[in-house]
Amino acid sequence: MKISKTKYLKFLPLVLGVILFALQACSTTGVSGRIDNQDNNGDSALAEVKQELGVKSSFQIFDSMSAIVGPQVTLRSNRVRDYFNQKRASLPDSNNITVFGASQINAIHNLAWEFCDRMMDDSVPRDEFFAGTEFSSSRSLNTSAKRESMASLMAERSCGPQVVETDDRIAMRESLHELIDTLQAQGQNDDNVIRGICTAAISSACVTQF
Amino acid sequence: MSKIISARPCSLFGLLLWWAALSLSVQSSPLEAQEAEQDQAVRLFQRLTGQAPTLSELQEMISAIQRGNTDIAALIAIRSDNLGFYKSTLVDAFSRTSNLEAVRPSSLDEYSATVVGLAVQNEDFRDVFRNVIYTAGDEEQTYFYRKNVDTDGDGNGDTLMILPINVDGNPLIRVVDNPGNNDNFLNEDGTPASTPKVRPLLRNRSVTGSDIRFELSNGAHPHYQDLEKVSDWPLRLEKRSQSQMYSYVRSSDRIPADDVIGLLSLPTMGRSAFEAGTNRRGYKMIMSTFMCKEMEEIRDATAPDFRVRRDIVRGDNFQTECRSCHGNMDGMNGAFAFFDYRDGRLQYDANGLNGNPSNNDYANGSNQKKQWRQNNNYLPGHLIKNNSWYNFMTAGQNVTFGWRTPSTGQDIDQGVGARSLGETLANTEQFSNCMAERAYERVCLDSVQIKSEDSDSEKQRKRALLGKLAEIAREYEQGIADYDDFSASSPYNINALFAKVAGTCFGGNQ
């Protein structure tokens, strides 16, 4: 069976997205604490406070992705919002990560693809996204340094800056870099490669989990 | 530990094992500590805003966490320029409480906009029970709305000018065509417009101005749908009075200030509470949305039953079953006597319950007299004729609501009109406790609802936690002076409540 280039373009970022998702999900755990508290009888009791790991709801995911790619993407076209409204039921409805399933990861990935594809289709949000970077005009990925730079940019735009660089972030950058290499080896042009790594980055756990 | 140190190691291997275990348990490099604080700050920021922080925000938050002020770190996130706390988190948290289905509406509506407006402008959050609505400012409401309809019957479409009006009843005359076009929110270079164009909340439906509507389109508000497209929409909100707005709607729909009860008398929640039925859902929605109490939790068979209506059959189980809910419920929801939701909008008729019941009155169930339905079930029962209400929850098990006399002097046991009921409810401890619980569940993603299937230790944990949240709620009612730098020190400031609650589960300030 022959798999088309376009299928690769969507499939590979999905695989990477899942890897990034697992990588970051496993590195963070719920945090608990205890608060000394007095009950009505004046007796001391312990209120164990939990701070569970959660997954964002459908609207929160939409808002987060929209903030990353910029408001122009949804303002200048209804395409992504229409897609979201059609597929909302397949995205997480609550923040409860214990009912978060594989099909929802796939739906998140597809929504990310819509955002990235739309951003790359329209010069206004695209130029705004890359403003101030060396990719602002050419978006060329013809050297290893540029590929590394693109991977760093996507990681930072998606997950935010860091004061102390963590192993997770280094691993994410390396994975995105590898994805660029893989997609280029498939013969994808640079814009399509960017679509792919954008999809992987904005569907990763640092965007969709909290 | 002292016991271990005093014990004599029985072998070298044991000593090594003990040393290794001790080292692993206490050693943590400064870098690891920094990473942990950074991770905590990022998670807190994401939880509160749904977005990643900027570098300066991250640094400020880490610094606050290092000082043990996690609540201050939370306030930095809440006040972020990205407005994510207001646009995403608050809307997601509260919009689900506006309807019986507990689903988030597909677009912004007046319910969520009002919650956000109160938060972003640091208003007293008890205003959710008061005569308040938030809309876009007049500057943003600048349409002539054109409609192509046949007004003179000649078979040809005529351009019908539909004037938007502001809440003072004056037409707004700035012209922008093509309502709903996304270009109205952007400049030519694609940047967000400084004065985006939003379809008005109120408009004349005809050139004669005889029918002014708080418009709904397929259950949604074009006004708020447009407003949501403005990137800084929480900052564009303007506070208005519901009664002022409604005074320009058809005369039969006017809601006087004495009968406005905040979010419940707005269309979104009003539809869930007052469409068809017998208006008892108004009570249920208040209890679940603002008091975090479901009907089963507030049953009280000792409540007086003289206000229980005629439609409730006084069977064998009335005293033990029916009365336990209807005693309190029918006492209180007399306040909603003049409300109805029909033909796609919230309606109000102060004369709708005049006269005496006839068979036809309650047959169709689609006007105020729907509250007289099944009038013959028990004729000695109460017949609603006015909007007086009784609060029987100040005695019995529901005294735990913490009823307090409002500063207006309103009697907490009885009153007339929905406004006075709202003021009574707004001043309960339970309302503040409920908001603290909602903040905790949203920020900490942990439920405090005690369930029958919970283990004893889990029930004990939740009870202790509810006690802690109640303490925080009392602080929130008084105002927290430490938050002055963030303009969040005023009493009943919902930003302060979220920050304080976030401080409990994200550690630091216990």
In this predicted structure, what is the pLDDT of residue B16?
Answer: 44
User: How many angstroms away from the CA of A149 is the closest CA of chain B?
Assistant: 18
- How far is Cα A66 from Cα A75, in angstroms, rounded to an integer? 10
Residues contacting A137, CB < 8 A, separation 6+: none
Using a CB-CB cut-off of 8 Å, the residues of chain B touching A128 are 190
CB pairs under 8 A between A and B: 146
- For B212-261, the pLDDT digits (tens) are 666 666 667 888 888 888 889 999 999 988 887 765 555 556 688 999 99
Interface of A with B in 113-152 (CB under 8 A): 124-125, 128
Q: CB A51 to CB B35 under 8 A?
A: no
Share of chain B above pLDDT 70, in %: 78
For A84-146, the three-class secondary structure string (H helix, E strand, C coil) is HHHHHHHCCCCCEHHHCCHHHHHHHHHHHHHHHHHHHHCHHHHHHHCCCCCCCCCCCCCCHHH
When comparing pLDDT for B276 and B176, which is higher? B276
Asked if B46 is an interface residue toward chain A (Cβ–Cβ < 8 A), one would say yes
Length of chain A (residues) = 210
Asked if residue B103 has pLDDT above 80, the reply is yes
CB B163 within 8 A of CB B220: no
When comparing pLDDT for B2 and B366, which is higher? B366
User: How many angstroms away from the CA of B495 is the closest CA of chain A?
Assistant: 19
CB B291 within 8 A of CB B401: yes
In this predicted structure, what is the pLDDT of residue A5?
Answer: 54
Q: Give the closest of A52, A63, A85 to B88, CB-based.
A: A63
In which region does residue B122 sit, left (phi positive, over 0), alpha (psi from -120 to 50) or beta (all else)? left
Q: What is the DSSP string of B437-499?
A: HHHHHHHH-------TTS-HHHHHHHHHHHHHHHHHHHHHHH--GGGGGGT--STT-HHHHHH
Asked if A83 is an interface residue toward chain B (Cβ–Cβ < 8 A), one would say no
How far, CA to CA in Å, does A58 sit from each of A104, B92, B417?
Answer: 10, 10, 39
What is the C-alpha radius of gyration for chain B, rounded to an integer number of angstroms? 27
In this predicted structure, what is the pLDDT of residue B213?
Answer: 63
Mean pLDDT of B263-272: 92
Interface of A with B in 188-207 (CB under 8 A): 206
User: How many angstroms away from the CA of A114 is the closest CA of chain B?
Assistant: 19
Q: CB A31 to CB B506 under 8 A?
A: yes
In this predicted structure, what is the pLDDT of residue B189?
Answer: 66
CB B122 within 8 A of CB B498: no
- What average pLDDT does the structure give for chain B? 84
User: How many angstroms away from the CA of B476 is the closest CA of chain A?
Assistant: 18
Asked if residue B96 has pLDDT above 50, the reply is yes
Backbone angles phi, psi at B405, to 5 degrees: -65, 125
Which DSSP letter does residue B65 get?
Answer: H
Contacts 24+ apart (CB under 8 A), B478-486: B482/B71, B482/B72, B483/B72, B483/B75, B486/B72, B486/B75, B486/B76, B486/B78, B486/B79
In this predicted structure, what is the pLDDT of residue A61?
Answer: 97
Mean pLDDT of B278-283: 95
Residues contacting A72, CB < 8 A, separation 6+: A122, A124, A125, A128, B186, B190
Find, in chain B, the residue whose alpha carbon is nearest to that of A97: B445
User: How many angstroms away from the CA of B378 is the closest CA of chain A?
Assistant: 43
Q: What is the DSSP string of B89-111?
A: IIHHHHHGGGSTT----SS--HH
Using a CB-CB cut-off of 8 Å, the residues of chain B touching A35 are 464-465, 468, 504, 510
**3-state DSSP assignment of residue B369:** helix
Backbone angles phi, psi at B358, to 5 degrees: -120, 170
- For B25-56, the pLDDT digits (tens) are 445 677 888 999 999 999 999 999 999 999 99
Find, in chain B, the residue whose alpha carbon is nearest to that of A69: B51
Cα three-residue angle B159-B163-B168, rounded to 5 degrees: 170
Interface of B with A in 205-244 (CB under 8 A): 229, 231
Taking alpha carbons only, the member of A44, A53, A98 closest to residue B505 is A53
Which two three-digit tokens encode residue A109?
A: 């990935």
In this predicted structure, what is the pLDDT of residue A165?
Answer: 93
Q: What is the DSSP string of A19-87?
A: HHHHHHHHH---EEEEEEEE-TTS-EEEEEEEE--BB--HHHHHHHHHHHH-THHHHS-SHHHHHHHHH
Q: Give the closest of A53, A59, A71 to B92, CB-based.
A: A59
Find, in chain A, the residue whose alpha carbon is nearest to that of B105: A59
In this predicted structure, what is the pLDDT of residue A158?
Answer: 96
Share of chain B above pLDDT 90, in %: 59
Asked if A47 is an interface residue toward chain B (Cβ–Cβ < 8 A), one would say yes
Q: Give the closest of A40, A78, A164 to B38, CB-based.
A: A164
- For B364-386, the pLDDT digits (tens) are 555 788 899 888 899 999 999 99
**How far from the centroid of its chain's Cα atoms is residue B154's Cα?**
49
Using a CB-CB cut-off of 8 Å, the residues of chain B touching A60 are 50, 88-89, 92
- For B452-479, the pLDDT digits (tens) are 999 999 999 999 999 999 999 999 999 9
- For B105-119, the pLDDT digits (tens) are 888 999 999 999 999
**3-state DSSP assignment of residue B16:** helix
CB A23 within 8 A of CB A205: yes
Torsional sign, CA A109, A111, A117, A120: negative
- How far is Cα B384 from Cα B72, in angstroms, rounded to an integer? 50
Q: Which positions of chain A have pLDDT values less than 50?
A: 1-3, 25-45
When comparing pLDDT for A112 and B6, which is higher? A112
Q: Position of tokens 């569907």?
A: A203
Which DSSP letter does residue B411 get?
Answer: -
CB A151 within 8 A of CB A185: no
Asked if B471 is an interface residue toward chain A (Cβ–Cβ < 8 A), one would say yes
- For B116-164, the pLDDT digits (tens) are 999 999 999 999 999 999 998 877 765 555 555 565 677 776 655 555 6
Q: What is the DSSP string of A166-198?
A: -HHHHHHHHHHHHHHHHHHHTT--HHHHHHHHH
